[in-house]
Amino acid sequence: MSVRNLDRLLAPRAVALFGASPTAGSVGRKLFDNLRGGGFKGPVRPVNPKHAAIDGEPCFADAAALPEPPDLAVVATPPEIVPEMIAAAGAAGARAAVVITAGLDDRNGLRKKMLRAAQPYGLRVQGPNCLGLQVPPLGLDASFAHLLARPGKLAFLSQSGALISAVLDWAAARDIGFSCVVSMGDMADVDVGDLLD
């Protein structure tokens, strides 16, 4: 168990979204909308070589083109390029990542490649295969959830994204807030013990 660089996960100053998309209904679009709509004060930079801009905001071709180092990388790309995105994010200064993408497992070797790519930078990985992360007091919604939790003092951790969605609905109806909401997914790196610490 280690809390190394989890401050970059839970209190980032800048965020880069790898796999941002202008396509309505896509995960990359929902993440971009949530990141921009939560009230987060730091820069949110979309990264996708296929687009020069999304909704009038510059979209960067790769991590090297970002104007500032991101503390947090949010990754929603096809699984086969996730290790490459993690390495690029680490080289650009990221020390934490939320990997939304599913399909990284030991059978295809992508899980190990992702962790090897993160290792030289001490980059911590939440996920893969997760709903994302919310830190309501910061206005950070790095998830594709349907709503952002209200700010509060209760932290909520769950492996299950479906359970998180249900609890967000339940809490909203009762005016219950959260300090953070973390969907842990497959827990390739960051796990319950790390987050509890």
Q: Looking at residue 162, what DSSP letter applies?
A: H
Q: Cis check for the bond before 46: say yes or no (omega within 30 of 0).
A: no
Share of the chain above pLDDT 70, in %: 99
Rounded CA-CA distance 57/169 in Å is 31
With contact defined as beta carbons under 8 Å apart, do 43 and 93 qualify? no
pLDDT per residue as tens digits for the range 33-59 = 999 999 999 999 999 999 999 999 999
With contact defined as beta carbons under 8 Å apart, do 48 and 19 qualify? yes
Nearby residues of 163 by Cβ (< 8 Å), 6 or more positions away: none
Rounded CA-CA distance 31/23 in Å is 11
Average pLDDT over residues 164-192: 97
pTM: 0.96
Does residue 177 sit in helix, strand or coil? strand
pLDDT at 61 over 80: yes
Looking at residue 60, its pLDDT comes to 98
Host H or E run for residue 152: strand 150-158
Tell me how many degrees the CA angle 17-18-21 measures, rounded to the nearest 5.
85
Average pLDDT in the chain: 96
Looking at residue 1, its pLDDT comes to 57
Count of CB atoms situated within 10 Å of the CB of 103: 14
Rounded CA-CA distance 154/71 in Å is 24
Strands 150-158 and 96-99: unpaired
Q: Assign 2 a pLDDT band (cuts: 50, 70, 90).
A: confident
Nearby residues of 182 by Cβ (< 8 Å), 6 or more positions away: 126, 133, 134, 155, 156, 157, 158, 195
